[in-house]
Chain A
Amino acid sequence: MVRSRRVRVGLAVLGAVSLALIALAVVATAGAPLGRLSASGLSTGDLLGSSGPADRTGEIAALLPSAMLAFGLFCIVAPLSAGGGLELIPEAELVAYPVRVPTLVRLSLVLTPLNIAWYIQVLVLVSATAYAVRGPGGPVPPIGVLLVFMAACTALGQALGWALVGVRRSRRGRITTWVLLAAVLATAAWVVVTDRGGALLDAAPTRTVLSAQLRAVALDGGGAAPTVLVLLTAAFVGYLLTVRVADWALRRPADLGIDGPLARPVRRRAFPSSAARALHQVDRASVWRSAPLRRGLLVLLVLPVAAAAVASLPWSSIALLPPLVASGAALLFGVNALSLDGSGALWISTLPHDPVLVLTSKARVVAEVVGGSVLLVLVGAGVRANSAPDAQDLLCVVGASISCVALVVATCMRLSVTRPHRAELRGPRDTPAPPGTMAIYSARLAAVTTTVGLVFSVSTFTHEWAVPVLVTAGLLCWATLSWLRTRRLWGEVTTRAHVVATVAAG
Chain B
Amino acid sequence: MSSAVVPSGVPVDVRGLVVTFGQVHAVEGLDLLVPAGGAVALVGRNGAGKSTTLRVLGGVLPPTSGVVHVGGVDAAREPRRAREVVGYCPDVGGLIPRATPWEHLQLAARLRGMGPEWEGRARDLLERFDLAGASDRVASGFSHGMGRRLSVLLAAFHEPAVLLLDEPFDGVDPLGVEATLEEIRRARMRGAAVLVSTHLLELAVQACDEAVVLRAGSVVAASPASELSGEAGAARYRELLT
Partners in one complex: yes
A103 interfacial contact with B, CB 8 Å: no
Complex interface residues of chain A between 271 and 299 (CB less than 8 A to chain B)? 271-272, 274-275, 277-279, 281-282, 285-286, 289-290
Q: Contact check, A262 vs B80: say whether CB atoms are below 8 A apart.
A: no
List the 3 closest pairs (A to B, CB-CB), nearest first: A343-B93, A262-B141, A506-B92
Q: Contact check, B90 vs A504: say whether CB atoms are below 8 A apart.
A: yes
- Chain B's interface size range is 35 or more
B234 interfacial contact with A, CB 8 Å: no
- Which residues of chain A have C-beta atoms less than 8 A from B110's C-beta? 271-272, 274-275, 277-278
- Closest A residue to B116 using CB positions: A271
- Known contacts A343-B93, A347-B151, A497-B61; A263/B83 CB under 8 A: no
- Closest A residue to B92 using CB positions: A506
Interface-lining segment among B39-47, B101-109, B177-185: B101-109
Q: How far is the CA of A279 from the CA of B108 in the complex (A)?
A: 10
- Which residues of chain A have C-beta atoms less than 8 A from B88's C-beta? 347, 350
Q: Contact check, A282 vs B62: say whether CB atoms are below 8 A apart.
A: no
Complex interface residues of chain B between 116 and 158 (CB less than 8 A to chain A)? 136-141, 151, 154
Having A343-B93, A350-B86, A501-B61, one finds 16 other A-B pairs with CB under 8 Å, namely A263-B141, A265-B137, A266-B136, A278-B110, A286-B99, A342-B97, A346-B93, A348-B96, A348-B107, A350-B60, A350-B87, A350-B88, A352-B81, A493-B62, A493-B79, A504-B93
A341 interfacial contact with B, CB 8 Å: yes
What are 15 residue pairs bridging A and B, where the CB atoms are less than 8 Å apart in the complex? A262-B137, A265-B100, A265-B136, A268-B102, A278-B107, A282-B107, A340-B96, A340-B98, A343-B93, A344-B94, A346-B90, A349-B59, A353-B80, A353-B111, A506-B91
B15 interfacial contact with A, CB 8 Å: no
Give the A interface residue count (CB, 8 A). Answer: 49
- Which residues of chain A have C-beta atoms less than 8 A from B103's C-beta? 269, 281-282, 285
Q: How far is the CA of A456 from the CA of B91 in the complex (A)?
A: 51
- Closest B residue to A279 using CB positions: B107
Question: B-contacting residues of A (Cβ < 8 Å)?
Answer: 256, 258, 260, 262-269, 271-272, 274-275, 277-279, 281-282, 285-286, 289-290, 340-344, 346-354, 424-426, 493-494, 497, 500-501, 504-506
- Known contacts A260-B141, A265-B136, A271-B106; A343/B95 CB under 8 A: yes
Q: Contact check, B98 vs A272: say whether CB atoms are below 8 A apart.
A: no
Question: A-contacting residues of B (Cβ < 8 Å)?
Answer: 55, 58-62, 79-81, 83-84, 86-88, 90-100, 102-104, 106-113, 136-141, 151, 154
- Which residues of chain B have C-beta atoms less than 8 A from A269's C-beta? 103, 106
Q: Contact check, A268 vs B136: say whether CB atoms are below 8 A apart.
A: yes
- Which residues of chain A have C-beta atoms less than 8 A from B61's C-beta? 497, 501
Q: How far is the CA of A267 from the CA of B106 in the complex (A)?
A: 13
- Closest A residue to B85 using CB positions: A352
Q: Contact check, B84 vs A352: say whether CB atoms are below 8 A apart.
A: yes
- Known contacts A343-B95, A504-B90, A504-B92; A349/B60 CB under 8 A: yes
Q: Contact check, A352 vs B83: say whether CB atoms are below 8 A apart.
A: yes
Q: Contact check, A351 vs B60: say whether CB atoms are below 8 A apart.
A: no
**A342 CB, nearest partner CB in chain B, Å:** 4
- Which residues of chain A have C-beta atoms less than 8 A from B97's C-beta? 286, 342-344, 424-426
Q: Contact check, A347 vs B94: say whether CB atoms are below 8 A apart.
A: yes
Q: How far is the CA of A348 from the CA of B154 in the complex (A)?
A: 11
Q: Contact check, B98 vs A278: say whether CB atoms are below 8 A apart.
A: no
Q: How far is the CA of A494 from the CA of B19 in the complex (A)?
A: 12
